[in-house]
Chains A and B, each alone.
Chain A
Amino acid sequence: MSVRTVSQLQKGEKAIIRSFTDRVMSLKLLEMGCVPGCEVRLDAVAPLGDPICINVGGCYSLSLRLNEASTIEIE
């Protein structure tokens, strides 16, 4: 089975960040507090299915596009 990413989360589902697939995107994600080992949860999906809002470490809500979310691998 291939590795799942944040873009495949179901609404309300929680997961732990494992790694990133895009080097440039990972920098921005790290700065926004998405650190490997951190728990994320899919909170909301925008009306047209994209972007999505994830809760990062219980701290705050981050909105990102599906193609950005698909660079975050989860376990």
Chain B
Amino acid sequence: MKQENIKIALVGNPNAGKSTLFNALTGLRQKTGNFPGVTVEKKSGTFRLAGSNGSADRDVTVVDLPGTYSVYPKSADEGVVMDILANPKHPDHPAVVVVVVDASNLQRNLLLFTEISDLGIPTILALNMLDVAASMKLTVNAVQLAMQLNVPVVKINARTSEGIPGLQQAIRQVVEKTEKPAQKYFYVPKGNEPALIEEVRALHALDNDYVALQYVCQHDNFSFLAQPVRAKLDSLIEKYAFDETGFLADETIARYKTIKPIVEKSVKSEGATEQPLWTRKLDKILLHPLWGYVTFALILMVIFQAIFAWASYPMDWLDENTASFISWVKEVLPKGVLNDLITDGVLAGIGGVIIFIPQIAILFGLVSILEESGYMARVMVIMDKVMRRFGLNGRSVVPLISGVACAVPAIMTTRSISSRHERLLTILVTPIMSCSARLPIYSILIALIIPSTKVLGIFNMQGLVLFGLYFLGLGGALASAWILSLFIKRTEPGYFMLEMPTYKVPRWGHVGFMMYDSVKSFVLEAGKVILAISIILWVLSSYGPGDHMEVAEQQAVRAMSQAPEEEVAAAVASARLESSYAGNFGRFIEPVIRPLGYDWKIGIALLASFAAREVFVGTMATIYSISGDSEDVLTVKERLMQEKNDLGGVMYTPAVCYSLLIFYVFAMMCMSTIAVVYRETHGWKWPLIQLGYLMVLAYVSAFAVYQLMS
């Protein structure tokens, strides 16, 4: 019989190195998903535990739980920790908890450790960041600490993977231990707490006092408790006149009293401790009233230069190669409907997005470098007061910046904002930040109308226009937040309080993994949607109601009887597309979009991109390769340049391009975002309000731009 995987969970303060340890343990054997029932991101992975004394190897499943300072959650993602640890029936409930502790800040880190240890789940303490402690002239005696805490203590360096075998061995020993070691409690209930605990324990058949106390304090956060059970616990609280806030403060202070002598016995310090020198020096510059903002602006500029200028080389290469690949496939496959479907439908659609892989990889890479290095926390500090003016929080900076990559994970990161009001506003405006799915649209339209000249010797004109569009997205997001904050009543004060991590050199392997992961999910997720839509679109644009297409073709041939053969072929293709199902569709909505400068072909692409913006370019590629000359395959850009409007002039004039650009800056064209807002706000009210106001904003702005420019 196959042995079941051992389940372990990593718990720890934010910045204690939990995720680094997770990567060191699991390597690439990890996956990202959601915890059941909630949208908090769940990272889990596996590793193989070598057998000892003749026992077989075992597989271990590791779950990386959200970072938290205590078992009492302050935000939605922290709530996951206790929801799992207090519920033995939870699928992720661990057999062993590894508490990752920052040795340079032992006192505060041990608070969480003592709470977790009191829950009665076998616990191991992983002592991390001993190098930082050493640079602060602190030495930690792990043996002494283990004796004081009555648990295995393993010294590790998560960044260099030192001590990982020792940790694995400790896990093995804890799992194989048949008898439970005597529980050491770091908090002893007092007053009438024991009586209350006794009653809760009897009621729920619990074998641990501290778990019973958690039932009392946070039963509303426990998804596994039904409403009547919660009501019963509330009545118990009333019966014993239990004062929750007072209890929490007393408990925390009592714990610190227990921790203090433990820290004194196991930590030796030489002189006054101080943060590492380079962190203090860097903060002098990065939090400076002037240089702080200058650096932030420069970093943003570099990001946009990178995703436009540097990414253009691999993109051009990909663009040319997809085009020649498609024409190669067209020649190799036998002519016919299937050939058309594969080349004009599927490959044209996929090729339209594949070229954006370099941009997405660079963008995700740079954002993760900012987070890894510790700089993101400084950005939150210098932006907090600005953000507050708009009803947001310094923490909203992370969703807003991540929104530049993708609104879906960005909206999920709002769970770290504890104020409901600030979180809702952040969710509502994050989709206005220009996400990577808009990048294909921006890139192609900018390339059409803006020359690639240098400005001031270093900046590329196209890069600057792109920067402008992102800036417009940011401005739109902040302005919307301010307007919305006038309508949405604030119910509680927001708070900031943020630990400033020391600066670190990014773990390049991790940055590389983030890039790989984002590209993979972009290609797979977007690829699926694009594949489906390309096929549907191809069918809809290759067939028409009744004999409309044949009639249109004959009419075109007759009208063009004097013209050269090439022009006749183009006119026939165009006439056929126009009378197809898709063409009818586009014609149907044309009156609505005409004031924005769009024709029915753009209309088809607009409708298709309601599923996801990245479909737009793929759709254009499909539409124009069907309507275009089928013999030679052009890149999408070349096709758009050749496109003529009804009057025979250039279709993609600056006015039309700008109107489209502005439309896509604001329009909420993304099913996944609507879905994630629905999940995060628990209802249809907010996603519908959001969809409505963004569509109106997009339409009105695009209308204004087109009318002013033409």
Contacts from A to B (Cβ < 8 Å): 23-33, 35-36, 43-51, 53, 55-65, 67-68
- Quick check: B385 and A33 within 8 Å, CB to CB? no
**Which of A30, A47, A56 interacts with B382 by CB under 8 Å?**
A47
- Min distance, Cβ B708 to any Cβ of chain A, angstroms: 35
Given contacts A27-B72, A27-B249, A59-B273, are A47 and B496 in contact (CB under 8 A)?
no
Given contacts A32-B108, A57-B107, A59-B105, are A68 and B249 in contact (CB under 8 A)?
no
Which among B288-296, B475-483, B648-656, B673-681 touches the partner chain?
A: B288-296
Given contacts A27-B248, A31-B252, A62-B497, are A46 and B107 in contact (CB under 8 A)?
no
Contacts of B288 in A (CB 8 A): 47
Given contacts A27-B72, A60-B105, A64-B496, are A50 and B273 in contact (CB under 8 A)?
no
Q: List 23 A-B contacts (CB under 8 A).
A: A24-B245, A27-B245, A27-B248, A31-B108, A32-B69, A33-B108, A35-B253, A44-B284, A45-B287, A46-B381, A48-B289, A48-B386, A50-B385, A51-B394, A51-B496, A53-B287, A59-B107, A60-B108, A61-B283, A62-B498, A63-B380, A63-B496, A68-B497
Contacts of A30 in B (CB 8 A): 249, 252-253, 256
Contacts of A44 in B (CB 8 A): 283-284, 287
The residue on A at minimum CB distance from B269 is: A58
**Which of A57, A58, A60 interacts with B500 by CB under 8 Å?**
A60
- Min distance, Cβ A37 to any Cβ of chain B, angstroms: 9
- Quick check: B273 and A58 within 8 Å, CB to CB? yes
B-side binding surface: helix, strand, loop or mixed? helix
- Quick check: A68 and B495 within 8 Å, CB to CB? yes
- Quick check: B104 and A60 within 8 Å, CB to CB? yes
Given contacts A23-B245, A27-B72, A31-B69, are A64 and B253 in contact (CB under 8 A)?
no
A-side binding surface: helix, strand, loop or mixed? mixed
- Min distance, Cβ A44 to any Cβ of chain B, angstroms: 5
Contacts of A35 in B (CB 8 A): 107, 253, 256
Bound: A45/B283 CA distance, A: 10
Is residue B547 within 8 Å, beta carbon to beta carbon, of the partner chain?
no
Bound: A23/B250 CA distance, A: 11
- Quick check: A60 and B499 within 8 Å, CB to CB? yes
Contacts of A45 in B (CB 8 A): 287
Contacts of A46 in B (CB 8 A): 287, 292, 381-382, 384-385
Given contacts A23-B249, A35-B253, A47-B289, are A63 and B497 in contact (CB under 8 A)?
yes
Contacts of A68 in B (CB 8 A): 495-497
Bound: A44/B498 CA distance, A: 14
Query: Total interface residues on B, using CB and 8 Å?
Result: 47
Contacts of A51 in B (CB 8 A): 381, 384-385, 394, 496, 498
Contacts of B279 in A (CB 8 A): 61
Bound: A23/B256 CA distance, A: 17
The residue on A at minimum CB distance from B102 is: A60
Bound: A27/B288 CA distance, A: 31
B243-290, CB < 8 A from A: 245-246, 248-249, 252-253, 256, 272-275, 279-280, 283-284, 287-290
B478-508, CB < 8 A from A: 493, 495-500, 502
A59-B105, A65-B384 are known; give 14 further A-B pairs, CB within 8 A.
A23-B249, A27-B248, A32-B69, A33-B108, A36-B253, A44-B283, A46-B381, A47-B382, A58-B272, A60-B104, A61-B279, A62-B499, A63-B499, A68-B495
- Quick check: B249 and A55 within 8 Å, CB to CB? no
The residue on B at minimum CB distance from A52 is: B381
- Min distance, Cβ A47 to any Cβ of chain B, angstroms: 4
- Quick check: A29 and B253 within 8 Å, CB to CB? no
Bound: A30/B608 CA distance, A: 53
Bound: A74/B122 CA distance, A: 40
Contacts of B107 in A (CB 8 A): 33, 35, 57, 59
Is residue B99 within 8 Å, beta carbon to beta carbon, of the partner chain?
no
Is residue B694 within 8 Å, beta carbon to beta carbon, of the partner chain?
no
- Quick check: B495 and A65 within 8 Å, CB to CB? yes
- Quick check: B495 and A25 within 8 Å, CB to CB? yes
**Which of B70, B104, B293, B381 interacts with A31 by CB under 8 Å?**
B70
- Min distance, Cβ A13 to any Cβ of chain B, angstroms: 15
- Min distance, Cβ A21 to any Cβ of chain B, angstroms: 13
Contacts of B105 in A (CB 8 A): 33, 59-60
Is residue B74 within 8 Å, beta carbon to beta carbon, of the partner chain?
yes
- Quick check: A63 and B381 within 8 Å, CB to CB? yes
- Min distance, Cβ B263 to any Cβ of chain A, angstroms: 11
Bound: A64/B385 CA distance, A: 11
Is residue B171 within 8 Å, beta carbon to beta carbon, of the partner chain?
no
- Min distance, Cβ A42 to any Cβ of chain B, angstroms: 12
Contact with A along B58-81 (1 / 0, CB 8 A): 000000000001101010000000
Is residue B392 within 8 Å, beta carbon to beta carbon, of the partner chain?
no
B80-115, CB < 8 A from A: 104-105, 107-108, 111
- Quick check: A27 and B496 within 8 Å, CB to CB? no
**Which of A28, A36, A47, A48 interacts with B497 by CB under 8 Å?**
A28
- Min distance, Cβ A23 to any Cβ of chain B, angstroms: 5
Is residue B377 within 8 Å, beta carbon to beta carbon, of the partner chain?
yes
Bound: A23/B247 CA distance, A: 11
Contacts of A55 in B (CB 8 A): 275
Given contacts A33-B105, A48-B385, are A64 and B499 in contact (CB under 8 A)?
no
Contacts of B377 in A (CB 8 A): 63
The residue on B at minimum CB distance from A56 is: B108
Contacts of A61 in B (CB 8 A): 275, 279, 283, 499-500
Contacts of A63 in B (CB 8 A): 377, 380-381, 496-500
- Min distance, Cβ B28 to any Cβ of chain A, angstroms: 32
Contacts of B275 in A (CB 8 A): 55, 58, 60-61
- Quick check: A65 and B496 within 8 Å, CB to CB? yes
Bound: A35/B502 CA distance, A: 21
Given contacts A27-B248, A30-B249, A59-B108, are A47 and B293 in contact (CB under 8 A)?
yes
